[in-house]
């Protein structure tokens, strides 16, 4: 599965995307060296994705509704090209 990522204005999140067929949210976090790691979050609905992308602050929404939420298990898809990772815990 390959989800197209859309760059966004956020201090924590570089880009995001969504696959409605699988209910997967894709988030690429920022790192000190630019785009960071990509994570896929499962069990996401179109309604939740719309709320996320239309929120005033993507990073705040992530912290309040997605991070540490066991309803959305995640897996790391790819690491940034060089340097440190940007794990979801630091997002």
Tell me the domain boundaries of the chain.
Answer: 6-84
Q: Read off the pTM.
A: 0.83
Question: Tokens at residue 41, please?
Answer: 């979050």
Kindly state the DSSP code that residue 45 receives in the 8-state scheme: -
**Residues 21-56: pLDDT tens digits?**
999 999 999 998 889 999 999 999 999 999 999 999
Measure the CA–CA gap between 40 and 27, rounded to whole angstroms: 7
CB 41, CB 72: distance < 8 Å: yes
**Residues 52-72: pLDDT tens digits?**
999 999 999 999 999 999 999
């Amino acid at each position: 599965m390959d989800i197209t990522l859309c760059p966004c204005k956020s201090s924590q999140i570089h880009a995001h995307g969504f696959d409605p067929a699988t209910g997967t949210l894709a988030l690429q976090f920022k790192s000190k060296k630019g785009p960071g790691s990509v994570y896929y979050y499962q069990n996401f609905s179109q309604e939740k994705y719309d709320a996320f992308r239309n929120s005033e602050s993507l990073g705040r929404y992530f912290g309040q509704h997605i991070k540490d939420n066991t309803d959305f298990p995640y897996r790391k898809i790819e690491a940034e090209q060089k340097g440190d990772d940007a794990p979801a815990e630091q997002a």
